[in-house]
């Protein structure tokens, strides 16, 4: 017992679990609060698993939509790794546990692992002070839009693989980082973008932060002499490629995950600039105006991260946000929270605030999350 108490990792995990328990207790308390205000009698499982959670539960139970099915919103858009893990756990438990419970167990375990390695990674990357240790777990468990990480959604697993990717990347374990990127790309297509973060960090580790034609040329030549590093780059999109190979066999279209998106989005705007212009100037629904300005704020945050020299994280964050902005601002708040790196930018800002300001900001973020959780329980379209 004393050895456990003296073990740094055990102490860290215990602190994380306490914060996690508090965050989930808030979610449970909000159930009777919501039912009392709305005059309903809905369960925690029902309230936590709206929209896409039902799609994931269906895939876990029945697999992907057959090509002959008449449903235009075929579930091919949902990548398989999270589903595979949930289905495996359900099989191990003999199918006796509710599918939503299975999915929530997987999601909550993933976000706990993510918080643990996020703290360990930030300690090495930023020489974190003890008083700042628990900021990141609070952000991952209780910041706005993190309630998705407790639902049957891929956010928690995706964040876990991203955290592990950067953890191994800054340890210079490039192959392990590439494997984590491959797993993330099997969870969501945006995981493929981690390849850019890997290349950026490889360049920094090999050539420094200054960019010139000569250094880029040297970097290319050095990479050609390092087959293991090249392989770590090539591994990154394997998860997505594996799913595309499956789709090609299953329904005859390797790009089915992308082509089926038209069933959800028919709007067409000029990519990125046109999308943000339409949203920020109020030319579409008010919720999208909010999301447009949210995206602007996040891009500014990523600019700050560049200034603070989180280069590879900022590159990943920017590209992962620009991808959905090629078509719409829909769900960009959720996507941003689900890519983790924005939390690192917020974390950096919080560590530079005095204690009172830091606590006030964190209290405001938690209050916003509680309000958003109420909207989530109410199936509010502002969250999608």
Q: Mean per-residue pLDDT for 161-166?
A: 98
The predicted pLDDT at position 312 comes to 96
Tell me the average pLDDT of the chain.
Answer: 91
Q: pLDDT at residue 3 above 70?
A: no
Q: pLDDT at residue 67 above 80?
A: no
The predicted pLDDT at position 384 comes to 79
pLDDT, one tens digit per residue, over 331-366 is 999 999 999 999 999 999 999 999 999 999 999 999
Give the range of the structural domain holding residue 200, as residue numbers without chain letter: 1-383
> 4 pLDDT band (50/70/90 cuts)?
low
The predicted pLDDT at position 256 comes to 87
The share of the chain scoring above pLDDT 90, in percent, equals: 76
In the numeric block, which tokens belong to residue 57? Answer: 């539960």
Q: Total structural domains in the chain?
A: 1
Q: pLDDT at residue 5 above 80?
A: no
52-56, 62-66, 99-103, 321-325, range with the lowest pLDDT:
62-66
63-77, 93-107, 185-199, 287-301, range with the lowest pLDDT:
63-77
> 177 pLDDT band (50/70/90 cuts)?
very high
The predicted pLDDT at position 72 comes to 52
Q: Mean per-residue pLDDT for 223-250?
A: 95
The predicted pLDDT at position 269 comes to 57
The predicted pLDDT at position 65 comes to 84
Q: Mean per-residue pLDDT for 279-293?
A: 92
pLDDT, one tens digit per residue, over 239-273 is 999 999 999 999 888 988 888 776 555 555 557 88
pLDDT, one tens digit per residue, over 107-158 is 999 999 999 999 999 887 776 677 788 999 999 999 999 999 999 999 999 9
Q: pLDDT at residue 163 above 70?
A: yes
> 17 pLDDT band (50/70/90 cuts)?
very high
88-97, 160-169, 276-285, range with the lowest pLDDT:
276-285
> 69 pLDDT band (50/70/90 cuts)?
low
Determine the length of the chain.
Answer: 384
- Total-model pTM: 0.94
Q: Mean per-residue pLDDT for 165-189?
A: 97
Q: Map the chain to HEC letters.
A: CHHHHHCHHHHHHHHHHHHHHHHHHHHHHHHHHHHHHHCCCCCHHHHHCCCHHHHHHHHHHHCCCCCCCCCCCCHHHCCCHHHHHHHHHHHHCCCCCCHHHHHHHHHHHHHHHHHHHHHHHHHHHHCCCHHHCCHHHHHHHHCCCHHHHHCCCCHHHHHHHHHHHHHHHHCCCHHHHHHHHHHHHCCCHHHHHHHHHHHHHHHHHHHCCCCCHHHHHHHHHHHHCCHHHHHHHHHCCHHHHHHHHHHHHHHCCCCHHHHHHHHCCCCCCCCCHHHHHHHHCCCCCHHHHHHHHHHHHHHHHHHHHHHCCCHHHHHHHHHHHHCHHHCCCCCHHHHHHCCCHHHHHHHHHHHCCCHHHHHHHHHHHHHHHHHHHHHHHCCCHHHC
The predicted pLDDT at position 98 comes to 95
> Residue 332 in contact with residue 325, Cβ under 8 Å?
yes
The predicted pLDDT at position 125 comes to 76
């Amino acid at each position: 017992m004393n050895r456990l108490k003296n073990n740094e990792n055990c102490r860290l995990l215990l602190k994380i679990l306490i914060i996690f328990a508090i965050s989930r207790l808030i979610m449970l308390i909000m159930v009777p609060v919501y039912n009392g205000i709305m005059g309903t009698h809905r369960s925690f499982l029902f309230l936590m698993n709206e929209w896409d959670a039902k799609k994931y539960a269906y895939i876990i139970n029945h697999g992907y939509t057959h090509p002959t099915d008449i449903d235009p919103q075929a579930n091919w858009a949902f990548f398989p790794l999270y589903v595979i893990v949930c289905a495996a756990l359900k099989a191990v438990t003999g199918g006796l546990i509710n599918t939503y419970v299975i999915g929530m167990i997987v999601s909550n375990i993933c976000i706990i692992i993510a918080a643990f390695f996020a703290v360990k990674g930030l300690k090495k990357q930023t020489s974190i002070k003890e008083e700042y240790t628990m900021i990141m777990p609070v952000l991952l468990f209780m910041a706005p839009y993190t309630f998705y990480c407790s639902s049957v959604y891929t956010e928690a697993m995706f964040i876990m693989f991203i955290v592990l990717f950067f953890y191994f990347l800054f340890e210079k374990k490039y192959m392990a980082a590439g494997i984590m990127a491959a797993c993330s790309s099997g969870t969501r297509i945006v995981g493929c973008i981690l390849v850019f973060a890997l290349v950026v960090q490889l360049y920094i580790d090999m050539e420094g932060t200054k960019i010139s034609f000569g250094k880029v040329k040297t970097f290319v030549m050095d990479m050609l002499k390092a087959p293991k590093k090249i392989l770590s780059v090539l591994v990154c999109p394997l998860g997505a490629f594996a799913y595309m190979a499956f789709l090609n066999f299953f329904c005859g279209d390797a790009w089915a995950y992308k082509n089926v998106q038209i069933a959800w989005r028919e709007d067409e705007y000029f990519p990125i600039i046109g999308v943000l212009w339409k949203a920020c100037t109020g030319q579409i629904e008010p919720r999208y105006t909010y999301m447009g300005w949210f995206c602007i704020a996040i891009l500014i945050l990523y600019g700050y991260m560049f200034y603070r020299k989180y280069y590879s994280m900022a590159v990943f964050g920017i590209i992962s946000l620009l991808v959905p902005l090629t078509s719409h601002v829909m769900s960009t708040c959720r996507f941003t929270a689900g890519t983790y790196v924005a939390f690192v930018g917020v974390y950096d800002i919080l560590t530079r605030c005095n204690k009172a300001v830091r606590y006030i900001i964190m209290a405001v973020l938690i209050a916003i999350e509680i309000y958003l959780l109420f909207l989530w329980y109410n199936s509010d379209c502002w969250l999608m």
